Structure 1
């Protein structure tokens, strides 16, 4: 694989079972906590499969998009469209910031030096570990803000989430769900579905921005790799969903947070 983020890596020659199995393992981790697991996939793309930072981000974004598209119908079946329609203003509020953030984040990612991008990704992995602990180990309260403060807060939060999601190539549910609960006092199940409605257009904007850069060719060079790993992630997520409750959150969540922290150290050293 190439080591510079502006060079298209050669076509992946890793065996299909390894690629599918890696995707499935990530899917299981995400499925057990109700997320896509893209934050765990990113260090694998870099450490195990040898992709440069920007290439890994673009591939991760493509796989995250596939996973979100597949999971959206199932999520809508769990939470009726009518229930989500009652909260459409929340999605619009967050999208007002997240769409701009996604474009800006992708723009910064393609312009960063490779060594800088590794360090930024390492820092964001720490953020994801913190968000994981806050969301699943503690009880997320609500701020009960007045409308005049709630709307701009939603835009600013969406902007930041859009930036993070674009730079990491993730859907952003790890940050969106607690944000929706905190700012808009929505139950966590509805927040999970709303997060997908915000994530999808946000990801498409970031994807469109990445497509304007020469590094986007990595996707065409590794399309089969991407689809195989995405398929593994989907299968793994289904299996992970069946394993919900098998492991106590008090054990599982700290363990996953440690994985993210260890991955962040490796990414920082990689840079």
Structure 2
């Protein structure tokens, strides 16, 4: 085996191991607070595993798809979907808006330069980190901020969905960190129902994003499927299951505040540092 081949093989083995090792604790923490953890996987993909941000986003989206599908199966076996029925008009309107921007967001990401994409991702991750911190100080349920009229709910759902789909396609995330607070605070859903509804909204949104990225050749490199997506998907599911079993042991509000701080720090370390390095060169 030549030196370049040996180096490539060692890199693939390293990525396989680290993909699984990082995915388990990220999935565990996501399971504890009811999120998929994709926002924390992105800095790992673009930093620790050495992928460019253009490669990291679709890979993160593919892992998110695996995690969502597994979470729906797990949740369906432990919880009833009946509380979600009153929210179906909102869910369908969120999906309608999210699918549109998930499609065009993936196309837009392909037209941005690597530097522009990194800048947008840094801003979005910081906003999500701040949102997690703020959410940690808020009550678990408040009265719906929107009027109960169906026309209001559907219109607002489509508008919120447009923002959710854009965030999902640009970050490669399921969007739960945006969907759940939207359902709780705007539409008055309880946190458990919001978690289930979030998965139902995320599944078609992420699927559209994956299909669009695939059509643009994002998954041509099959080694990334075997040494990153597969182990990271399995690790995320295992971690999420463990996290779900440990819910209640740790205060969710404290975890959200802590993870919000960690997300901001990791986002600046990976994406802001990368920009500074290019400027210095």
After TM superposition, the score normalised by the length of structure 1 is 0.90
Higher alpha-carbon deviation: 177-186 or 91-100: 177-186
Verify the 8 A CA contact 1:94 1:155 in the aligned structure 2: yes
Aligned pair partner of 1:204 in 192, 207, 232: 207
Aligned pair partner of 1:224 in 210, 223, 226: 226
Partner of 2:117: 117
Aligned length: 262
After TM superposition, the score normalised by the length of structure 2 is 0.87
Gap runs ≥5 in structure 1: 1-8
The Cα shift of 1:250 comes to 4.7
Aligned pair partner of 1:233 in 232, 236, 242: 236
What is the correspondence of 1:149-160 to structure 2 with a 5 Å cutoff? Answer: 149-160=152-163
User: Is structure 2 residue 253 aligned with structure 1 residue 270?
Assistant: no
Change (3 A) 1:192 1:249: closer
Distance (Å, rounded) in 2 between the aligned partners of 1:231 and 1:28: 12
3-state SS, counterpart of residue 220 of structure 2: helix
3-state SS, counterpart of residue 245 of structure 1: coil
Higher alpha-carbon deviation: 231-240 or 83-92: 83-92
Question: How large is the RMSD of aligned CA atoms in angstroms?
Answer: 2.0
| Runs of 4+ with deviation above 4 angstroms | none
What is the correspondence of 1:75-224 to structure 2 with a 5 Å cutoff? Answer: 75-139=75-139, 141=142, 142-145=144-147, 146-218=149-221, 220-224=222-226
3-state SS, counterpart of residue 216 of structure 1: coil
Partner of 1:19: 19
Verify the 8 A CA contact 2:42 2:171 in the aligned structure 1: yes
Greater share of helix residues, 1 or 2? 2
Distance (Å, rounded) in 2 between the aligned partners of 1:249 and 1:186: 17
The Cα shift of 1:246 comes to 3.2
Verify the 8 A CA contact 2:106 2:209 in the aligned structure 1: yes
Distance (Å, rounded) in 1 between the aligned partners of 2:15 and 2:260: 29
The Cα shift of 1:150 comes to 2.6
Distance (Å, rounded) in 1 between the aligned partners of 2:193 and 2:251: 23
The Cα shift of 1:65 comes to 0.3
Aligned pair partner of 2:254 in 251, 254, 261: 251
Higher alpha-carbon deviation: 240-249 or 88-97: 240-249
Change (3 A) 1:131 1:110: same
3-state SS, counterpart of residue 214 of structure 1: coil
Distance (Å, rounded) in 2 between the aligned partners of 1:72 and 1:26: 18
What is the correspondence of 1:23-102 to structure 2 with a 5 Å cutoff? Answer: 23-102=23-102
Larger Rg: 2
The Cα shift of 1:37 comes to 0.5
Gap runs ≥5 in structure 2: 1-7, 276-281
